[in-house]
Amino acid sequence: MQDTKRFNELRQLKRRHLIYYLEVFDQKTGKLLGHLVDLTVKGIKLISKEKITPNQSFSLRMIMPEEYCPQKEVRFAAKSTWCGEDVNPDFYATGFNTPDLAEDTRRLFMILINQVGFND
């Protein structure tokens, strides 16, 4: 949990919680990695049943909510930075950096943030 606290202190962009828990898959294995719970254009946070090892690079595929986004899915690279037990001890929370988003992916993330993010 200490790592989570440190990353929260270092965070430059405020995370936006979403009203959807979008499915995020590992493109290489096709396996569901988890569900998106927080989003910025620099990173994401997933909730998953299994622990995800930090400092791993991933090619991710996320299913988009059709009523808000013109694309069915989005693909992007991300690196896991931390993983810890979620508030619900049956799950793990994992943070990912997404520093090299393509411009069209960045626009889709902004649509999600603006259309399905909680206004807090």
Q: Which domain holds residue 92?
A: 2-112
Q: Cα–Cα distance between 19 and 116 in angstroms, integer?
A: 6
> Does residue 117 form part of some domain?
no
- Residues 6-16 pLDDT 10s: 444 443 444 44
List the CATH number of the domain containing 23. Answer: 2.40.10.220
13, amino acid identity: L
What total of structural domains would you count in the chain? 1
> Does residue 41 form part of some domain?
yes
| Residue 18 clears pLDDT 60, i.e. is over it | no
pLDDT for res 6? 45
Q: Cα–Cα distance between 55 and 53 in angstroms, integer?
A: 7
Q: Cα–Cα distance between 98 and 108 in angstroms, integer?
A: 13
Residue 36: CB partners within 8 Å, gap ≥ 6? 18, 20, 21, 22, 23, 24, 44, 45, 46, 62
pLDDT for res 15? 45
Closest CA to 111 of 66, 58, 59, 60: 66
> Does residue 43 form part of some domain?
yes
Q: Is the separation of the CB atoms in 40 and 97 below 8 Å?
A: no
> Does residue 119 form part of some domain?
no
> Does residue 93 form part of some domain?
yes
- Residues 44-90 pLDDT 10s: 999 999 999 999 999 999 988 777 677 889 999 999 999 999 989 99
> Does residue 87 form part of some domain?
yes
> Does residue 12 form part of some domain?
yes
> Does residue 120 form part of some domain?
no
The residue that leads in pLDDT, 94 or 37, is: 94
